[in-house]
Amino acid sequence: MNRKSLFWSFILIMTLVLAGCGGQTAGNTAGGTADQGQTTNTADTDNNETTSASDANTDQSSSEDSATNAPSITSNSDGSYVVKNAWGDTTLSRSPQKIVTLHFSFTDELVSLGITPVGIAGSYNAEVLGYLKDKVTDYTFVGNHQQPNLEVISSLKPDLIIANADVHGAIRDDLEKIAPTIALYTNGYGDMEQNFAVLGTLLGKDKEHDQVMSEFNSNIEQTHSQITGTPKVMVVKVLEKNFYIWMKTSYIATLLEKMGAEYSFDETKSSQQQTPGKIDVADVDLETLVQENPDYLVIYGAQADLDKWMGNSTFQTINAVKNNHVLVVNDEVWALGKGPLSGAEVLKEALPFFTK
């Protein structure tokens, strides 16, 4: 190797070493009163907003990003916080009070702590998911979670915006110009646990967080103890001509496995492509669903599509359908919520389903 090559190799090594030394955080304590925060983002991550998988490794890559960028919080002696998140380190001068949530999971988590965000992003069908409607008041709808209205968000003068790291990368700069922003992943039960713990500390709600999670995990354990065997289950959205299968790394799949089920669809062994813009699901045809052949099938979708497939002779060869082990559910609870409150609702429906 010549001297020029050695020089550039040395520069590359030093860059990697310095990058590995930065961004370390630690801390536990809760925050104080609210004040307008200031943000400093020091690291970039890939934006997976609308990227489809070319092979089975794409969702695995998203999961690795999630683990690498696990959120944490540092509480400083001056009452400020540094939140390590998928978009870097965000500094908040005080515990925030005016929060905008751009994903259902974050809304679920805040509401479970007794906090209503000033701004909430919803779906095309609902501003607030049905199971939360009687728990939130005095909020402003900021548009669909995939394309929130930046002008409305700005008008609320929030002191914190919580974004989805897999969805909102394209508007990162716009959000950060409005208010301090943290970006979090929502791809599995572990993500929810980590996000919820950070928010509990940031909002001075550690006790409330601990109580919610203690009750939730106790509920999961009780459900697990009452399920016999290991039911093989799959959660599927039915469409007119195809299906969306939730992946093994998704929130609903990891929650079902925690309660004692075996999640049937393993994306690492499938040749099916990940759905563009939908990190947690794969787009499959009827043949693939029949080959997976789950013993228990949780499904949702338009009633006309449900009726069509339930009357399809090939669909009826699936073990779950033959044995009447099909549960039709509300997608707001099973697919969108991704928080402790929606999880509690899932447990209520799952136990009688797996034990009948």
Q: Which helix (H) or strand (E) holds 330?
A: none
H-type helices in the chain, by residue range? 3-21, 57-68, 104-112, 150-155, 172-178, 189-202, 206-226, 251-258, 286-292, 303-310, 319-322, 331, 340-355
Whole-model pTM over 0.85: no
Three-class HEC string of 102-132: CCHHHHHHHHHCCCCCCEEEECCCCCCCHHH
- Measured CA to CA, the distance from residue 356 to residue 321 in angstroms comes to 15
| Mean pLDDT on 185-203 | 96
| Mean pLDDT on 350-356 | 92
Give residue-wise pLDDT tens across range 250-278. Answer: 999 999 999 999 998 867 655 555 544 55
pLDDT surpassing 50 at residue 7: no
Q: What is the predicted pLDDT for the residue at 67?
A: 56
Q: What is the predicted pLDDT for the residue at 17?
A: 39
Give residue-wise pLDDT tens across range 97-123. Answer: 999 999 999 999 999 999 999 999 998
Q: What is the predicted pLDDT for the residue at 56?
A: 31
- Measured CA to CA, the distance from residue 176 to residue 44 in angstroms comes to 13
Contact 156, 118 (CB under 8 A): yes
Give residue-wise pLDDT tens across range 41-61. Answer: 332 222 222 222 223 333 344
In this prediction, what percent of the chain has a pLDDT beyond 90?
A: 73
Give residue-wise pLDDT tens across range 31-44. Answer: 333 333 333 333 22
Contact 278, 244 (CB under 8 A): yes
Q: What is the DSSP string of 268-317?
A: GG--PPEETTEEEEEEE-HHHHHHH--SEEEEEE-HHHHHHHHT-TTGGG
- Measured CA to CA, the distance from residue 5 to residue 24 in angstroms comes to 32
Q: What is the mean pLDDT of the chain?
A: 83
Give residue-wise pLDDT tens across range 128-183. Answer: 999 999 999 999 999 999 999 999 999 999 999 999 999 999 999 999 999 999 99
